[in-house]
Structure 1
């Protein structure tokens, strides 16, 4: 019995490590030198968009912001490593997206944030996703963590029906990781009939169940310099179109999202959320936290006060 227990203890690190991706598990995506020259400069890429967001059966004007940065991520803890040089075997190079949306519905504001952490390699799974939605009624928070091939979901909500819960999402592509996969290697995007977890903003706004659905995916050129990735969910009556530059670094230039939207007093009707590119800046924004740095927001067309 002692020998069995000892063997189990000796094998435990191997068992844990086999489910944990490392930087050597998969080859890099795309042109490594090209990628490094753009993303490994110590700068973030920040883009702003004119947003028209469907909510409560109406179209509401606002601003969307995309912040992309290349970071060293902990495979074991699934957090950004403070000192990646101290844990070289645990580092996974990832592309991180923070996508924010700010808009008003009548007199009160909505503030949304999506964070997705996708390996720079040909790993088939993003490691983590986080979504938060704040408005005057309350706050909702959802988090997905990769566990082998599945995702563990935890969600917290002010609203009773959405309450605090935990569940497992079976092996699936994440719609929200498509934003990163476009930037990494659009030629590797999934096409055809696919099983995919719809975007968490959409799930929150429709009070839907976070379960994968089937969608039809395609990519096409819509102009000399711009390509489009399109997802069609027949059962959800929903379409997502993401436009991006066809050449590296594959910058996002806009998107459209159509689905039935309404409130409790009216029948849902098909409305289309749109985002159109405004401005872009490459800057180490985390160093620009003094009052005098507010002027830099002008470069992105953001309000200074």
Structure 2
């Protein structure tokens, strides 16, 4: 399949995905999930996500690293923002941006854990347009990893029919690189897609660019790889299972079955016998960018954060 046809198929899938269609996709590899009985209305979505607050979630973390499980915590910050389509940064003057303005769901994942004497701090940020029909691809993704030996930074920017991938590293084996990847679904955007699209993900075999954190930790180059997404459901949850066909990596994501489709837990299995696991502790909705005073540290205790 040539690149133009691949891109056309993916855009078709996103259009079906955004419209909550129960029709079958013409692309045999991308079969949209059927609608749930409970689907959020546009007003319900807007009232929640455009309320002037962010959704802040804290998770207990069991992180696999260097052959052992480490205790830590994860924070997921979901918030909508006005974004520049051309510059791919948050707009300072959204009212004056005109057609350059696009509303995105931003997800900041802050992951912290300790390995022996030293600690890791990871921030992964994804910018996914709310209007998937008009803007079917995530516009930007970046990941920074800091630990006592050094730091790395990875960024993907959407450039027409490809992602520009820039990687910078303290370590010689990684070096500073720049490359391009064909546009397809990102593992790092699955959670924003779930929140935007009524808890839905595609099912079946598809191309998936695997996680930037996985790429750095395992020293696998960023690339699109074949994966299968399947699901199981209970009365209250949906579990998505992602299995890569040519890599040992498996991921599962547990999702609240009704609006606002919170991420309840997830696991990552890289085939090393150690499984990374995150489980939700607390959710609050706050304009966190305004909570800067010492007295606002009470909100950290409310979120049951360790540090």
CA 1:126–1:66 in structure 2 vs 1: closer, same or farther (change >3 Å)? same
Question: Does the residue aligned with 2:47 lie in a helix, a strand or coil?
Answer: helix
Say which of 192, 197, 206 aligns to 2:204: 192
- Cα distance in 2 for residues equivalent to 1:298 and 1:167: 43
> Gapped runs of 5+ residues in structure 2?
1-14, 20-39
Quote how far apart the aligned CAs of 1:270 are. Answer: 2.1
- Cα distance in 1 for residues equivalent to 2:157 and 2:143: 12
2:176 maps to 164
1:226 maps to 237
Matched, 1:175 2:187: yes
Matched, 1:288 2:298: no
Question: Does the residue aligned with 2:105 lie in a helix, a strand or coil?
Answer: strand
Matched, 1:61 2:71: yes
- Cα distance in 1 for residues equivalent to 2:294 and 2:126: 29
TM-score by length of 2: 0.85
- Cα distance in 2 for residues equivalent to 1:186 and 1:147: 27
- Cα distance in 2 for residues equivalent to 1:87 and 1:121: 17
Matched, 1:212 2:215: no
Quote how far apart the aligned CAs of 1:187 are. Answer: 5.8
TM-score by length of 1: 0.85
Matched, 1:134 2:137: no
Say which of 133, 157, 162 aligns to 1:145: 157
- Contact 2:198–2:259 (Cα < 8 Å) also in 1: no
1:20 maps to none
Question: Does the residue aligned with 1:34 lie in a helix, a strand or coil?
Answer: helix
Q: Spell out, residue by residue over 1:20-62, the C-alpha distance to the aligned partner (whole angstroms, 9 max, x if none).
A: xxxxxx8976632111010110000000000000000000010
More deviation, 131-140/179-188: 179-188
Matched, 1:244 2:244: no
Structure 2 counterparts to residues 15-164 of structure 1, below 5 A: 31-122=41-132, 123-164=135-176
- Cα distance in 2 for residues equivalent to 1:116 and 1:45: 15
1:12 maps to none
Quote how far apart the aligned CAs of 1:293 are. Answer: 1.3
After superposition, the CA RMSD in angstroms is 1.5
Quote how far apart the aligned CAs of 1:272 are. Answer: 0.7
Quote how far apart the aligned CAs of 1:188 are. Answer: 4.7
Q: Spell out, residue by residue over 1:234-266, the C-alpha distance to the aligned partner (whole angstroms, 9 max, x if none).
A: 321111000010111100000011013xxxxxx
Question: Does the residue aligned with 1:160 lie in a helix, a strand or coil?
Answer: coil
Quote how far apart the aligned CAs of 1:66 are. Answer: 0.1
- Cα distance in 2 for residues equivalent to 1:293 and 1:138: 31
- Contact 2:199–2:257 (Cα < 8 Å) also in 1: no
- Cα distance in 2 for residues equivalent to 1:303 and 1:237: 32
CA 1:299–1:251 in structure 2 vs 1: closer, same or farther (change >3 Å)? same
- Cα distance in 2 for residues equivalent to 1:303 and 1:289: 18
